[in-house]
Amino acid sequence: MSDHLHRLPTGPVDLSAIETDVAPGFDGGKSEGKAALFELGDELSDLQERLFAEGRSGSPRRILLVLQGMDTSGKGGVLRHTVGLVDPQGVRITSFKAPTQEELSHDFLWRIRRALPDAGYIGVFDRSHYEDVLIARVRELAAPEEIERRYTAINDFERELVDEGTVVLKCMLHISAAEQKERLLARLDDPTKYWKYNPGDVDERGQWPQYRRAYEIALERTNTPHAPWFVIPSDKKWYRNLTVGRLLHDALVRLDPQWPDADFDVDLERKRLIDEAPLT
Amino acid sequence: MSDHLHRLPTGPVDLSAIETDVAPGFDGGKSEGKAALFELGDELSDLQERLFAEGRSGSPRRILLVLQGMDTSGKGGVLRHTVGLVDPQGVRITSFKAPTQEELSHDFLWRIRRALPDAGYIGVFDRSHYEDVLIARVRELAAPEEIERRYTAINDFERELVDEGTVVLKCMLHISAAEQKERLLARLDDPTKYWKYNPGDVDERGQWPQYRRAYEIALERTNTPHAPWFVIPSDKKWYRNLTVGRLLHDALVRLDPQWPDADFDVDLERKRLIDEAPLT
List pLDDT tens digits, range B170-184: 999 999 999 999 999
Q: Do B87 and A95 touch (CB under 8 A)?
A: no
Tell me the mean pLDDT in the region A182-200. 97
Mean pLDDT of B210-239: 98
pLDDT digits (tens, 9 = 90+) for A212-253: 999 999 999 999 999 999 999 999 999 999 999 999 999 999
pLDDT at residue A24 tops 70: yes
pLDDT above 90 covers what percent of chain A? 97
Residue B3 confidence (pLDDT) above 90: no
Contact at CB, A192 and B259, closer than 8 angstroms: yes
**Total beta-carbon pairs less than 8 A apart between chain A and chain B:** 120
Does the beta-carbon distance from A266 to B188 stay under 8 Å?
yes
Q: Does any CB of chain B come closer than 8 Å to the CB of residue A278?
A: no
pLDDT tens, position by position, B252-279: 999 999 999 999 999 999 999 999 999 8
Residue type at B83 in one-letter notation:
V
Specify which residues A232 forms β-bridges with.
Answer: A173
Q: How confident is the model at residue B4, as a pLDDT? A: 78
Burial class of residue B18 in the structure, from the number of CB atoms within 10 Å of its CB (0-12 exposed, 13-18 middle, 19+ buried):
middle
Maximum distance among all Cα pairs of chain A, rounded to whole angstroms: 74
Cα separation of A56 and A258, whole Å? 11
Q: Give rounded-to-5 percent helix, strand, coil for chain B.
A: 55, 10, 35
pLDDT in tens, A79-138: 999 999 999 999 999 999 999 999 999 999 999 999 999 999 999 999 999 999 999 999
| pLDDT reported for residue A4 | 78
Q: What is the pLDDT of residue A58?
A: 94
Amino acid occupying residue B269? E
**Contacts of residue B16 in chain A, CB cutoff 8 Å?**
none
pLDDT in tens, B194-206: 999 999 999 999 9
Which pLDDT does position B217 carry in this prediction?
Answer: 98
Q: Which of B208, B260, B273 sits opposite A181 (nearest CB)?
A: B273
* pLDDT value for A2: 58
Q: How confident is the model at residue A3 (pLDDT cuts 50, 70, 90)?
A: low
Q: Do A206 and B279 touch (CB under 8 A)?
A: yes
pLDDT at A162 over 60: yes
pLDDT in tens, B134-163: 999 999 999 999 999 999 999 999 999 999
Q: What is the band of A1 on the pLDDT scale with cuts at 50, 70, 90?
A: low
> Where are the alpha helices (H) located in chain B, listed in sequence order?
3-6, 30-56, 75-81, 101-104, 110-114, 135-138, 144-163, 177-188, 199-205, 208-221, 237-255, 266-274
Q: Which of B76, B195, B202 sits opposite A260 (nearest CB)?
A: B195
| Separation between Cα atoms, residue A112 and residue A96, nearest integer Å | 9
The average pLDDT across A13-37 equals 97
What angle do helix axes A144-163 and A208-221 make, rounded to 10 degrees? Answer: 50
Mutating which of A80, A127, A279, A280 best tests the B interface, going by the most B Cβ atoms within 10 A? A279
Cα distances (angstroms) measured from residue A143 to each of A127, A209, A219, A238: 21, 20, 20, 39
Using pLDDT thresholds of 50, 70 and 90, give the confidence band for residue B280: confident
Residue A176's pLDDT band (boundaries 50, 70, 90)?
Answer: very high
Mutate to test the interface with A, among B87, B127, B268, B274 (most CBs of A within 10 A): B87
CA within 13 Å, CB half, A168: 22
Q: What is the mean pLDDT of chain A?
A: 97
Of A79, A259, A273, the CB nearest to B192: A259
A224 vs A222: CA distance, rounded Å: 6
Contacting residues for B14 by C-beta, under 8 A, at least 6 apart: B216
Whether residue B87 lies within 8 A of chain A, CB to CB, comes out as yes
- Compute the average pLDDT of residues B55-63: 96
**Residue B74, by phi and psi: left (phi above 0), alpha (psi -120 to 50) or beta?**
left
Please choose, from the candidates A234, A255, A237, A247, the residue with its C-alpha nearest in 3D space to the C-alpha of residue A68: A234
Please report which helix (H) or strand (E) contains residue A67, including its range: strand A62-69
* Contact with chain A for residue B254, Cβ under 8 A: no
Which chain B residues have a beta carbon less than 8 Å from that of A38? none
pLDDT at residue A269 in the model? 97
For residue B1, pLDDT over 60 is answered with no
Instruction: Please check whether residue A151 touches B, CB under 8 A.
Output: no
- Mean pLDDT across the stretch B84-91? 97
Residue-level pLDDT at A256: 97
Residue A280: the pLDDT is 75
Mean pLDDT confidence for A175-202: 97
